[in-house]
Structure 1
Amino acid sequence: MLKGPLLPRGESNMSNLCPPVFLVSLSSPEEEALCRALRVRDDQSDFIASNAESLEQAADSPWCEPLAIRAMQTGELVGFLMHALDPDENSRWIYRLMIDRNHQGRGYGRAALRALMAHLHTLPGGPGVALGVDPENIGARRLYASEGFVETGEVIDGELIMRRMST
């Protein structure tokens, strides 16, 4: 678990279009309530579980780590993500990555994904990271592909599985 903010590492492919973000563990009921209040656009609601559902899942699983995504410059909460270790295959999974509808289209998703990948690199587990994405969520598929995730051809619960090997 993160104790404080996690700053993205200075990766050479960081674009000026990605605003700096930091990831913070949810350590209080107030922080969890703020994350529950975040929403994607109405046309995206079928693509991702609600943050309330994700927090319930995290409470039931010792493998899940929910994190708030905050804008570095203002500290404002812009999104939520959750990852987990799959102990059966010893790999990391990104279970959720959402940016609030009021902050979409500004690069926060890419910045959060990069910050999360830097964080995952410091944790135990196999060399790969996997995620599932709704086949109709073209924006998310493009984002993940542009960050090195490859569609594997696997489908789990209707979601396309994408994987990226850590470097």
Structure 2
Amino acid sequence: MPTRLVDHDLLDEEQRQQLSELQILPEQKRWSGDIAGALHTLTSAPCPGIKGFALLDDERPVAFLLLKRPPFLPPWADEKAATLHALQVDSRQQGRGYGRACLRALPAASRAVWPRVRQLMLSVDSDNLAAMGLYLSEGWVDSGTAYRGRVGYERRLSLKI
């Protein structure tokens, strides 16, 4: 599968349209939101502290994620980290390893836009077993800390890069 994680700013108009058409399963929206919300976060007030990335397969978007830096970090994050948000794989493309491909490409992508970042962090609902399993299998470390999130209890995970 020839995939690559690409900065949203480098997508052409056709790819941006295709990205806006990603479909997220209703049961996953409670954790990751939907593509319209993620793109709104990215494009409503463009700034250097929020970056969007699309995973392309044969030049067609199949997944999307956001990275944030200060001053947009959530309160649970280390100020020297970048945080991962809104990881979404098109529901029609799930089960093909695209989520894993995003995570594997993420360290290089984050270093390309923010060279001083040495740690990635994320927050995941403790009931989202599929996501927890994926992150842990890709080397993310559970801090052991849980806090009350908007949906349920959240776990903080980190990855040194």
**TM tier, shorter chain?**
0.7 to 0.9
Per-residue CA shift, 1:49-72, capped at 9, x if unaligned?
A: 11111122123352111122111x
Q: 2:29 aligns with which of 45, 50, 63?
A: 45
| Residue 147 in structure 1 maps to residue 141 in structure 2 | no
8 Å CA contact 1:36, 1:50 repeated in 2: no
CA distance in 1, matches of 2:52, 2:98: 17
| Residue 93 in structure 1 maps to residue 77 in structure 2 | no
| Residue 116 in structure 1 maps to residue 98 in structure 2 | no
SS of the aligned residue for 1:77 comes to strand
8 Å CA contact 1:21, 1:115 repeated in 2: no
Letter matched to residue 112 of structure 1: C
The residue that corresponds to 1:125 in the other structure is 116
Identity of paired residues, percent?
29
8 Å CA contact 1:92, 1:130 repeated in 2: yes
Task: Give 1:101 deviation, angstroms.
Answer: 0.6
Task: Give 1:75 deviation, angstroms.
Answer: 2.1
Task: Sort the Cα spacing of 1:69 and 1:156 in 2 relative to 1 into closer, same or farther, 3 A.
Answer: farther
Judging by fraction of residues, say which structure has more helix. 2
The residue that corresponds to 1:162 in the other structure is 157
Task: Give 1:131 deviation, angstroms.
Answer: 0.8
Letter matched to residue 109 of structure 1: G
TM-score where L is the length of structure 2: 0.78
TM-score where L is the length of structure 1: 0.76
8 Å CA contact 2:15, 2:60 repeated in 1: no
CA distance in 2, matches of 1:104, 1:20: 16
Q: Number of residue pairs matched?
A: 146
Q: Which ranges in structure 1 are unaligned for 5 or more consecutive residues?
A: 1-18
8 Å CA contact 2:63, 2:88 repeated in 1: yes
Task: Give 1:97 deviation, angstroms.
Answer: 1.4
